[in-house]
Amino acid sequence: MSRGLRTFMVLFGKELKEGLRSYRFWVLLGVFVFFGLLSPLSAKFLPEILASALPPGVTLEIPSPTFMDSFTEFFSSLSQMGALAMILVSMGAVSEERAKGTAVLVMVRPISRTGFVLAKSAILWLMMILAVVISTAGAVLYTFVLFTDVEIAGFLLAVVGWIALFITLISFTVLFSVIFSSSALGGLATFGVYILLSIIPVFGHGLDQFTPGAVPGVGSQIMLGEASSDAMIWPVVASLLLAAAAIAAAVTIFKRQEL
Amino acid sequence: MSNLVVECRGLTKKYRDIAAVDGLDLSVEAGSVFGFLGRNGAGKTTTLRMLLGLALPTSGSATVLGHDLWSSPDTRARVGFLPETPAFYSWMTGREFLLFSGRLTGVEKADLGSRVDSLLKEVGLKNVPQKVGGYSKGMKQRLGMAQALVGEPEVLFLDEPTSALDPIGRRDFLELISQVSERTTVVFSTHILADVERVCDRVGIIDKGRLVTQASVAELRQDVGGQVFKIQLATEDPDLIAGLATQIETLDFVQEAKMIDSVIEARVDSSEKAQIMLPSVIAQSGLPLSRFEEKSTDLEEVFIRLVGDDAK
């Protein structure tokens, strides 16, 4: 086994144990499962809750909710609560190790710095994918229970798009945690990138179809049947390319960094 | 063939315009316990960081076992390091951290378990089940030593390892260093002179990023410190005592003679000459002698003479 692969495997194992023992993974999973289950419930019962809160004699005309409302609610939570939880959990990936001094006792070993960054990124990606998949499963289950005529193909494709977008976000979190010594600053910078990616599609000219920020819009279009499943290819590819660039930058910078 | 395991040639590290290490030349021979001595901020830690490949020199070179550890990370498998305040993953037990360190160092799986158990026994942490987060400073320092030794290094770097320890912890840790020095070369950075005297056989003194001197402890005491003779007279008349001190200072083998609390302290180049000549000079002065004592210069005096009194 090459040194790089050995480093990666040992560090990946350590990151996995750390994620589980420090409750980071469980917190992330808890947040994702919470809104995964809550979204269908909220979509189903919100009109009734609103109606019951109205004064006597006042009526509210709200169309009966469908499974689409459930999935829309899910993506709304994913884009806000999910993104925030993910940034908070991953923003100190490298900077915390540097600040605490734990990185020194790792870096004086015969290991590759590339392996160090990749192991951290991989475990964060894995944690996020597991959280999204379990959360999605919960949302689908409750949607099937609460709604009729449920179509999930478009929804699942949109989820794949979101996973790709979140891989990009995590990669930027890792990059900023290499660049900045403060975890909070790294988190803020990632949040800035997230907002920027969300704004870019507004300018049209293909930016609403071929950039990572196009994932939410294209996902909705696919769910509504307004776009074919192929439409998700470019936002996913763009997200993964951007993620790869962010990780490459993180590795390059970390290799030159003094500890 | 060179017997040097650590070599710095013109090693310089600048932060903006300030030189933390300034043209340092240093060499450590295999098998020695090398005390790297300097006051706080002298450049010791920066030098160690460059040797370990954690920082890049501005100019010059720093090699360990003939390699620059920044560009030859594989050589790090043959090197151990204990920082001043080692930081561990608080959620791991000591044993888990040593297993993790051993795997990263490339220790064979078949050997790792027994080696970790043996190290835990050696540092007195064998039956400690708690997580590292609950360790005392002394326990962390001992675990730090164990992790530095897990790869059976040929060179062990210790950066101010006793600074944060209480007297008993310090004594135990120095004993540990003595044990370890039987199987590896030790480079021991510190500003605590008593620690160097106790465990080191060679010393490099650094001040303001530059090497002031490098020699064995005995050579330093002899060549820099010289021998000191204490002369106490059966009189407390300061004029008489000062007069004799002045007379002694004129002798060619005497570096200096000064009166401290009615006692004359004469620093000499030659112990033999002093043993013969000083009693006769005192006798000629007609002053009654009550005590005549020879003592070796300690490292603290040598250090202060070399780097200046503000080192106190």
Please state, for a pLDDT cut of 70, what percent of chain A lies above it: 100
Q: Which pLDDT value is given to residue B272? A: 84
Q: Which pLDDT value is given to residue B147? A: 96
In chain B, CATH 3.30.70.100 covers 227-296
Q: Which pLDDT value is given to residue A177? A: 97
Judge contact between A221 and A72, C-beta under 8 A.
no
Confidence of residue B225 (pLDDT cuts 50, 70, 90): low
Q: Which pLDDT value is given to residue A60? A: 73
Q: Which residues on chain A place their C-beta less than 8 Å from a C-beta of chain B?
A: 3, 6-7, 10-11, 14, 17-18, 21-22, 100-102, 104-112, 258-259
Contact A100 B87 (CB under 8 A): yes
Q: Which fold has domain B4-221?
A: Rossmann fold (3.40.50)
Contact A105 B75 (CB under 8 A): no
- Report the alpha-carbon angle B279-B282-B285, nearest 5: 150
Residues on chain A touching B147 (C-beta within 8 angstroms): 105
Whether pTM > 0.90 for this model: the answer is: no
Q: Which pLDDT value is given to residue A195? A: 94
Q: Which pLDDT value is given to residue A126? A: 96
Residues on chain B touching A111 (C-beta within 8 angstroms): 73, 104
Average pLDDT of every residue of chain A: 92
Least confident window among A215-224, A238-247, B56-65: A215-224
Contact A258 B87 (CB under 8 A): no
Q: Is A166 exposed, middle or buried (0-12, 13-18, 19+ CB in 10 A)?
A: buried
ipTM given for this complex: 0.87
Contact B74 A110 (CB under 8 A): yes
Which residues make beta-bridge pairs with B19?
B14
Q: How many domains does chain A have?
A: 1
Q: Who among A14, A101, A110 is closest to B73 (CB)?
A: A110
Q: What is the rounded average pLDDT of the residues A132-156? A: 94
**Maximum Cα–Cα distance for chain B, whole Å?**
78
3-state SS record for chain B = CCCEEEEEEEEEEEECCEEEEEEEEEEEECCCEEEEECCCCCCHHHHHHHHCCCCCCCEEEEEECCECCCCCHHHHHHEEEECCCCCCCCCCEHHHHHHHHHHHHCCCHHHHHHHHHHHHHHCCCCCCCCEHHHCCHHHHHHHHHHHHHCCCCCEEEEECCCCCCCHHHHHHHHHHHHHHCCCCEEEEEECCHHHHHHHCCEEEEEECCEEEEEEEHHHHHHHHHCEEEEEEECCCCHHHHHHHHHHHHCCCCEEEEEEECCEEEEEECCHHHHHHHHHHHHHHHCCCEEEEEEEECCHHHHHHHHHCHHHC
Confidence of residue B310 (pLDDT cuts 50, 70, 90): low
Residues on chain A touching B52 (C-beta within 8 angstroms): 108
For residues A144 and B310, the model is more confident at A144
For residues B183 and B270, the model is more confident at B183
Judge contact between A184 and A134, C-beta under 8 A.
no
| Half-sphere exposure in the Cβ direction for B112 (13 Å, CA) | 16
B49, closest residue in chain A (CA to CA)? A259
pLDDT in tens, B79-130: 999 999 999 999 999 999 999 999 999 999 899 999 999 999 988 899 898 9
3-state secondary structure of A91: coil
User: Which are the contacts of B244, defined by CB distance < 8 A and separation ≥ 6?
Assistant: B231, B233, B264, B281, B282, B285, B287
Confidence of residue B77 (pLDDT cuts 50, 70, 90): very high
Give φ, ψ of B37 to 5 degrees.
-110, 135
A20, closest residue in chain B (CA to CA)? B91
Residue with tokens 């907002």: A195
Least confident window among A139-153, B7-21, B286-300: B286-300
Q: Are strands B33-37 and B185-190 parallel, antiparallel or unpaired?
A: parallel
d(Cα B301, Cα B297) in Å, to the nearest integer? 6
Give φ, ψ of B131 to 5 degrees.
-75, 155
Q: What is the rounded average pLDDT of the residues B171-186? A: 90
pLDDT in tens, A1-52: 677 788 899 999 999 999 999 888 999 999 999 999 999 999 998 888 887 8
Q: Which pLDDT value is given to residue B311? A: 44
Please state, for a pLDDT cut of 70, what percent of chain B lies above it: 96
Please state, for a pLDDT cut of 90, what percent of chain B lies above it: 53
Contact B147 A100 (CB under 8 A): no
For residue A45, count other CB atoms closer than 10 A to its CB: 13
Q: Which pLDDT value is given to residue B312? A: 43
User: What's the domain range around A233?
Assistant: 3-256
User: Which are the contacts of A141, defined by CB distance < 8 A and separation ≥ 6?
Assistant: none
In chain B, CATH 3.40.50.300 covers 4-221
B83 touches chain A (CB under 8 A): yes
pLDDT in tens, A76-104: 999 999 999 999 999 999 999 999 999 99
DSSP line for A162-225: HHHHHHHHHHHHHHHHHH-S-HHHHHHHHHHHHHHHHHGGGG-TTHHHHSGGGHHHHHHHHHTT
Domain B227-296 has CATH 3.90.1010.10: no
- Report the alpha-carbon angle B39-B41-B42, nearest 5: 60
Tokens standing for A73? 């609610």
Q: Which pLDDT value is given to residue A204? A: 78
Which residues make beta-bridge pairs with B33?
B186
Judge contact between B155 and B78, C-beta under 8 A.
yes
Judge contact between B160 and B190, C-beta under 8 A.
yes
Q: Which pLDDT value is given to residue A140? A: 96
For residue B16, count other CB atoms closer than 10 A to its CB: 5
For residue B53, count other CB atoms closer than 10 A to its CB: 23
